[in-house]
């Protein structure tokens, strides 16, 4: 296995960072032989990219491998502490490369979702002209966080969480190949705690392994769940918003709102705020929850959640905590229904099973004379022309006539829906 040439004092995760595509683990759908990205790297025709995925799955490593494969300069900026001035500095450096540099370089921007609109705007010209190949890394959905103009100039690749088989290989490679660890006799007796505390993050996994090894006396090291737990609890920095604790807290937060417990929901909200969680991440989850878990039991929930997301963008921290608290309490105390969520899940399953069924003739559009001659739309009855703005006609494809996807929940608003539908459709919506 080829690894980076770093000194013995570098962290284990840095010492074990692969430098060749053949050693890159966990993203076979992107980098496996014959994949689009693999072919682009081999052909040295890399477009600007946005790498989207959870922490520790290899976004930075992949960017470095691309740079090495193309044998062109690699510039890196962090959106946390870099601004427009730094971006322009990179562009100036690339231009000064002259003929020898070919006016080409990789510009890697970590956490690109933290760049403001003006900062992202400053990238457009250089990316458009091909002065730099941009590779942005983000843990957030780029559709929300990257401006459309920049997103349209980039290919978006989704990196998946690492599987157990990948984590097994990481540990094996580190123990057998690392310049320091291979000098010791290391035996892993239990893996559960290592994997639990890593949360599928390769960097965190290797950090935990290194801490456990360094805390042991002598060359013989036996690793079990107890030893790992002891080391992790003595190093609070291992708990952060990008690791397992992040996913545990957001899970508890969502489940507390779904379970109608505002006290617990506000507590987990406070945990996330104190942990430095991104306010927009919290607000986005509330928008999804309002539709998934409350739905038509209280349509105002989605309106409030959307308003909360907009308000958070407007005021930010620390006042944003008050807005989030109000909305969290409202959603937790609201009536609940997952009827809309279940309806679309059932409908999608039906579409996948039955395929593109023929649309009934009376529902088809008829913009041409030929279509009208074929009776497209001929039998359609306009509901507003009838009493009660309703006419009993079939809207489903004949193959699934009578199929039911929507089942109203047992709450005041959806009971009203049930009553209305039953009054119009009789047995068809008898529930």
Q: Both 177 and 299 in a single domain?
A: no
Closest CA to 282 of 292, 295, 296, 268: 268
Token representation of residue 425: 């459709």
d(CA 139, CA 161): 11
Token representation of residue 338: 């997952």
Residue 44 in this model has a pLDDT that exceeds 70: yes
Over residues 73-100, the pLDDT tens digits come to: 899 888 777 888 888 888 888 888 754 4
d(CA 103, CA 72): 9
Strand partners, 223: 188
Q: Which residues of 196-206 are buried (b: 16+ CB within 10 A; e: fewer)?
A: ebbbbbbbbbb
Contact 193, 228 (CB under 8 A): yes
Q: Both 144 and 177 in a single domain?
A: no
Q: What is the pLDDT of residue 371?
A: 66
Contact 275, 252 (CB under 8 A): no
Contact 387, 341 (CB under 8 A): no
Over residues 361-406, the pLDDT tens digits come to: 877 777 677 766 676 777 788 888 888 888 888 888 888 888 888 8
Tell me whether residue 199 is in a domain: yes
Q: The CATH number of the domain where 203 resides is what?
A: 1.10.8.60
Residue 103 in this model has a pLDDT that exceeds 60: no
Residue 290 in this model has a pLDDT that exceeds 90: yes
What is the domain count for the chain?
A: 4
Tell me whether residue 15 is in a domain: no
Structural domain range at position 417 = 359-429
Contact 49, 151 (CB under 8 A): no
Tell me whether residue 2 is in a domain: no
Q: Select from 104, 138, 158 the last residue of a domain.
A: 158
Tell me whether residue 353 is in a domain: no
Q: Both 259 and 204 in a single domain?
A: no
d(CA 282, CA 266): 12
Q: Both 327 and 370 in a single domain?
A: no
Q: Both 212 and 120 in a single domain?
A: no
Bond prior to 318 in cis (omega within 30° of 0): yes
Q: Select from 142, 158, 174 the last residue of a domain.
A: 158
Q: Select from 118, 139, 158 the last residue of a domain.
A: 158
Strand partners, 110: 78, 137
Q: Which of 150-154, 178-182, 244-248, 351-355 has the lowest mean pLDDT?
A: 244-248
User: In 274-411, which ranges are E strands?
Assistant: none
Tell me whether residue 398 is in a domain: yes
Bond prior to 304 in cis (omega within 30° of 0): no
Token representation of residue 99: 């003929």
Cα angle for residues 347, 309, 156 (degrees, 5° grid): 65
Contact 88, 126 (CB under 8 A): no
Q: Both 323 and 260 in a single domain?
A: yes
Percent of the chain with pLDDT over 70: 91
Q: How far is CA 264 from the centre of its chain?
A: 25
229-232 long-range contacts, CB within 8 A, separation 24+: 229/193, 229/197, 232/193, 232/197, 232/208
Residue 135 in this model has a pLDDT that exceeds 90: yes
Residue 105 in this model has a pLDDT that exceeds 90: no
Q: What is the pLDDT of residue 11?
A: 86
Tell me whether residue 348 is in a domain: no
d(CA 380, CA 363): 6
Q: Which of 41-45, 84-88, 107-111, 232-236 has the lowest mean pLDDT?
A: 232-236
List of residues 6+ apart from 383 with CB closer than 8 A: 389, 390, 391
Q: Both 73 and 152 in a single domain?
A: yes
**Per-residue H/E/C for 62-94:** HHHHHHHHHCCCEEEEECCCCCHHHHHHHHHHH
Tell me whether residue 14 is in a domain: no
**Mean of the per-residue pLDDT values of the chain:** 84
Task: Determine the average pLDDT of the residues in 143-161.
Answer: 87
Q: What is the pLDDT of residue 8?
A: 55
Dihedral Cα 209, 212, 213, 215, nearest 10 deg: 150
Q: Both 299 and 366 in a single domain?
A: no
Neighbours of 280 (CB within 10 A): 17
User: Could you tell me the CA-to-CA distances from 417 to 12, 156, 177, 290, 421 in Å, in that order?
Assistant: 60, 41, 65, 19, 6
Residue 5 in this model has a pLDDT that exceeds 50: no
Tell me the whole-structure pTM to 2 decimals.
0.57
Q: H or E element: which one contains 185?
A: strand 185-188
Residue 245 in this model has a pLDDT that exceeds 80: no
Q: What is the pLDDT of residue 128?
A: 87
d(CA 417, CA 195): 47
Q: Both 373 and 399 in a single domain?
A: yes
Q: What is the pLDDT of residue 403?
A: 83
Q: Both 170 and 277 in a single domain?
A: no
Q: Both 171 and 230 in a single domain?
A: yes
Tell me whether residue 370 is in a domain: yes
**Strand, coil or helix: 109:** strand
User: In 358-431, which ranges are E strands?
Assistant: none
List of residues 6+ apart from 364 with CB closer than 8 A: 371, 376, 377
Q: What is the pLDDT of residue 99?
A: 46
Task: Determine the average pLDDT of the residues in 308-328.
Answer: 89
Contact 425, 385 (CB under 8 A): no
Q: Both 65 and 133 in a single domain?
A: yes
Q: What is the pLDDT of residue 50?
A: 92
Task: Determine the average pLDDT of the residues in 215-243.
Answer: 73
């Amino acid at each position: 296995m080829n690894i980076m040439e770093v000194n013995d004092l570098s962290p284990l995760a840095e010492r074990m960072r692969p430098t060749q595509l053949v050693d890159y683990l966990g993203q076979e759908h992107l980098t496996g032989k014959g994949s689009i990205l693999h072919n682009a790297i081999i052909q040295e025709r890399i477009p600007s990219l946005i790498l989207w995925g959870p922490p520790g799955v290899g976004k930075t490593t992949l960017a470095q491998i691309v740079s090495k494969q193309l044998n062109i300069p690699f510039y890196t900026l962090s959106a946390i502490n870099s601004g427009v001035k730094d971006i322009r500095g990179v562009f100036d450096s690339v231009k000064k490369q002259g003929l020898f540099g070919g006016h080409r370089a990789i510009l890697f921007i970590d956490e690109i979702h933290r760049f403001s609109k003006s900062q992202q705007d400053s990238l457009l010209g250089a990316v458009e002209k091909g002065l730099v190949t941009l590779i942005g890394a983000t843990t957030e959905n780029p559709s929300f966080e990257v401006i459309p103009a920049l997103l349209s100039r980039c290919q978006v690749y989704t990196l998946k969480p690492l599987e157990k088989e990948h984590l097994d290989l990481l540990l094996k490679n580190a123990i057998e190949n690392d310049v320091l660890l291979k000098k010791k006799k290391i035996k892993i007796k239990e893996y559960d705690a290592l994997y639990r505390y890593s949360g599928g993050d390769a960097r965190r996994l290797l950090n935990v392994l290194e801490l456990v090894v360094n805390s042991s006396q002598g060359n013989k090291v036996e690793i079990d769940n107890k030893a790992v737990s002891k080391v992790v609890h003595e190093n609070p920095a291992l708990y952060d918003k990008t690791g397992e604790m992040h996913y545990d807290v957001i899970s508890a937060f969502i489940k507390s709102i779904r379970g109608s417990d505002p006290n617990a929901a506000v507590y987990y909200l406070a945990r996330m705020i104190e942990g430095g969680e991104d306010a927009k991440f919290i607000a986005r989850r509330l928008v999804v929850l309002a539709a998934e878990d409350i739905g038509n039991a209280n349509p105002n929930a989605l309106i409030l959640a959307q308003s909360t997301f907009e308000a958070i963008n407007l005021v930010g921290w620390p006042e944003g905590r008050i807005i989030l608290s109000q909305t969290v309490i409202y959603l937790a105390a609201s009536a609940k229904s997952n009827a809309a969520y279940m309806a679309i899940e059932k409908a999608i399953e039906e579409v996948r099973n039955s395929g593109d069924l023929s649309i009934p003739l009376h529902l088809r559009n008829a913009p041409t004379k030929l279509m009208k001659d074929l009776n497209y739309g001929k039998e359609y009855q306009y509901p507003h022309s009838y009493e009660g703005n309703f006419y009993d006609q079939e809207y489903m494809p004949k193959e699934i006539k009578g199929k039911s996807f929507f089942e109203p929940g047992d709450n005041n608003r959806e009971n009203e829906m049930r009553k209305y539908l039953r009054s119009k459709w009789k047995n068809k919506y008898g529930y």
